[in-house]
Structure 1
Amino acid sequence: MNAVTPVLEVDELVRHFTTKDFLGREVHRVRAVDGVSFTVAPGETLGLVGESGSGKSTTGRLVLRLDDPTEGRIRFEGQDITHLNAAQLLAVRRKMQVVFQDPFSSLNPRMRVGDAVAEPLKSHRILKTAAERHERVAQLFQRVGLDPRFAERFPHQFSGGQRQRIGIARALAVSPRLIVADEPITALDVSIQAQIVNLFMDLQQELGMAYLFIAHDLAMVRFLCHRVAVMLRGRIVEMATTEQLFAHPRHPYTQALISAMPIPDPDRELARQRIFYEAVTPPREARLAEVEKGHWVLA
């Protein structure tokens, strides 16, 4: 472990969902997250990638303690938060925020967007007066590239990209140390995606936050993230620096994902060779092994 304490440490995290019959007997168990471990350093962006249903979003919810883990441990800035109750979590949640995937449903349609951004300030009792909160909201709007006068408008009066900027402003309101971004650009047009990703990078350089960036767009992950963890059927099958992962992918599933990335060159795109991999649940006994410094592969 580095001398600097990680912002986030996840150790053998497990989340199982069960279905039961009318007698209360378990009939099926889904291993949504099945022994996931990783760390996120201060100021670092860790990308969490994989196909739909791989457990990425569930992992994000567990990290934020929006869902309770079945097993495992979550440490935030050195503090074990795995079993904290709602009252104890309140102080921690000021330091860890989320940007949701859908900018259309993540805002209350009946609430002015300025009030939505000010809500965390009220919940955490950071600023006591309405005037102070109003000034803070204006600063946040400017920081994410919006006119502070827009604070009096309602969500339906904004485009998708503007709504996502409002969501980012709301996450920034309490000056968090970690932001979990759960596919924050998926619902946006390609031109707007680049703006939002650049905004994330600018804010990280300015404020030194760490990101857990959940996505399936490998091109954006390659551009934004320092390290990448690849998930398959609830397990991390490969984890490395972004440069290592894209230069020398080791796991067949990672190779298949990277081979599916479109190439912005018509001739090279026509010549691109796809690698096909039939996704299967990794064996329970398989463990991550370090194949080179900082590069881990499930074996």
Structure 2
Amino acid sequence: MNALAGRPVLEVENLTRHFITKGFFGREEHRVRAVDGVSFTVGAGETLGLVGESGSGKSTTGRLVLRLDDATAGRIHFEGQEITSLRRGQLRTMRRRMQVVFQDPYSSLNPRMRVGDAVAEPLEAHGIIKDKKARQEKVADLFQRVGLNPRFATRFPHEFSGGQRQRIGIARAIAVEPRLIVADEPITALDVSIQAQIVNLFMDLQEEMGVAYLFIAHDLAMVRHLCHRVAVMLRGRIVETAATEQLFADARHPYTQALISAMPIPDPDREQARQRIFYEAVTPPADARLQEVSPGHWVLDQA
């Protein structure tokens, strides 16, 4: 799973998103720092895993990258183009090359639309294939690529299992041949027996297409299997980032160490002897900065 050489597909610099509640006379009452100065890159053909507990800001970061939410501050460069200030028409062109796979494979599909039409919709919306018969042929090919029978295209979402619905969501995402896919916890809602199949599908498609992933997840075992690099988020900040095996072998931040120690071990004897590391999550200091402790391994200053 070697990343392809070249300029990063995605460059995020000091990305920030604050939510403000206001009281009487429009005065600021409370400020939630959902994402607070996040920076990272994703190379062509690379998978960056974004991990952390619920509420750490992972999904908000994904939405900001996709421009589904507007950033309070910071910059996002996609394929060398700064996209934080793009308007709606310009975003439409950009979104052909940047797609998303959502967590819930049922709510992300229109229950009144046949799944074949749902997969064909981006092809029509972006004017990629205008002929209806050609679109149907493309949909059949996409179904085969994600491991589904093309005859299923005439069915509705409720006729599929969760794993099959997620395959349909992936088919829709790759229909426009994107350069980047934001996968927002795409296996969390699936049975454990199906999760590995979906992760392997992501890997196969990456090898075939050279697509890059921003993979948001809780499951560290799957992240370790799929991702080239990992960034650990805590309360809106990245506290540690490194190549996957380097991070798991030599985690430096106490929060990362606590997350890794909580990973279950599929061996009863080793699981019983496993030592948990407890870390009381606190908001990182505003002036804390990432320090490079070894080549490519960055840890947030604890001082």
The answer to whether the 8 A contact 2:15-2:75 is kept is: yes
Match of 1:249 in 2: 251
Letter of the 1:23 partner, please give it: F
1:256: how far off? 0.2
Local SS of the residue matching 2:25: coil
Query: CA 1:143–1:3 in 2, change beyond 3 Å: closer, same or farther?
Result: closer
Query: How many Å separate the matches in 1 of 2:258 and 2:223?
Result: 16
Match of 1:181 in 2: 183
Query: How many Å separate the matches in 1 of 2:25 and 2:143?
Result: 53
Match of 2:223 in 1: 221
Query: CA 1:22–1:132 in 2, change beyond 3 Å: closer, same or farther?
Result: farther
Q: Structure 1 residues 2-11 or 136-145, which shifts more?
A: 2-11
Quick one: which of 194, 197, 201 aligns to 1:195?
Answer: 197
Match of 1:146 in 2: 148
Query: How many Å separate the matches in 2 of 1:286 and 1:246?
Result: 23
Match of 2:139 in 1: 137
Question: How do 1:1-299 and structure 2 match up within 5 A?
Answer: 4-299=6-301
Letter of the 1:124 partner, please give it: H
Letter of the 2:100 partner, please give it: V
Query: How many Å separate the matches in 1 of 2:209 and 2:86?
Result: 27
TM-score by length of 1: 0.99
1:4: how far off? 1.6
Query: How many Å separate the matches in 1 of 2:254 and 2:23?
Result: 38
The answer to whether the 8 A contact 2:5-2:43 is kept is: no
The answer to whether the 8 A contact 2:232-2:240 is kept is: yes
Query: How many Å separate the matches in 2 of 1:107 and 1:62?
Result: 22
Letter of the 2:144 partner, please give it: Q
Deviations 1:210-238 (A, max 9, x none): 00000010000000000000000000000
1:132: how far off? 1.1
Local SS of the residue matching 2:105: coil
Query: How many residues matched?
Result: 298
Letter of the 2:88 partner, please give it: A
Structure 1 unaligned blocks of 5 or more? none
1:23: how far off? 2.8
TM-score by length of 2: 0.97
Letter of the 1:74 partner, please give it: I
Structure 2 unaligned blocks of 5 or more? none
Query: How many Å separate the matches in 2 of 1:81 and 1:251?
Result: 32
Query: How many Å separate the matches in 1 of 2:156 and 2:38?
Result: 40
Letter of the 1:19 partner, please give it: T
Query: How many Å separate the matches in 1 of 2:50 and 2:150?
Result: 33
Query: How many Å separate the matches in 1 of 2:113 and 2:137?
Result: 18
Q: Structure 1 residues 220-229 or 19-28, which shifts more?
A: 19-28
Query: How many Å separate the matches in 1 of 2:240 and 2:187?
Result: 24
Query: CA 1:115–1:3 in 2, change beyond 3 Å: closer, same or farther?
Result: closer
Local SS of the residue matching 1:39: strand
Local SS of the residue matching 1:161: helix
1:239: how far off? 0.2
Query: CA 1:154–1:3 in 2, change beyond 3 Å: closer, same or farther?
Result: closer
